[in-house]
Amino acid sequence: MSSPTFPATRTALLRRRIATYFVGGAEQIPQLVRALDGRLVHELSVDVKDGVRESSMVCAVLLAAEEIEPLLDGLRALPAVVSAELA
């Protein structure tokens, strides 16, 4: 009798909260959201205040552990981004 075969083990996806601070106001939002393309985003909020230099975007994304740094690096590479970190 043969033993059952199972699919290859998948990397566990964990919910990660990411805080991104950026300059340039609301016109930067589409570029920030595009950086999240292809990922499972569960929450997304953007805070843009008149007269405040930095705005913020906070999101909850399902990511495998090995995807965290590439996503943060991609966000940090955007010209308007001041910082992007796990929250």
Distance of CA 27 to the CA centre of its chain: 18
| Domains of the chain listed by start with CATH number | 14-86 (3.30.70.260)
Mean pLDDT of 7-24: 86
The per-residue pLDDT of the chain, averaged, comes to 91
Total-model pTM: 0.83
Amino acid identity for residue 48 in this structure: V
**Which pLDDT does position 2 carry in this prediction?**
58
CA-closest candidate to residue 27, choices 55, 65, 2, 60: 55
Confidence of residue 78 (pLDDT cuts 50, 70, 90): very high
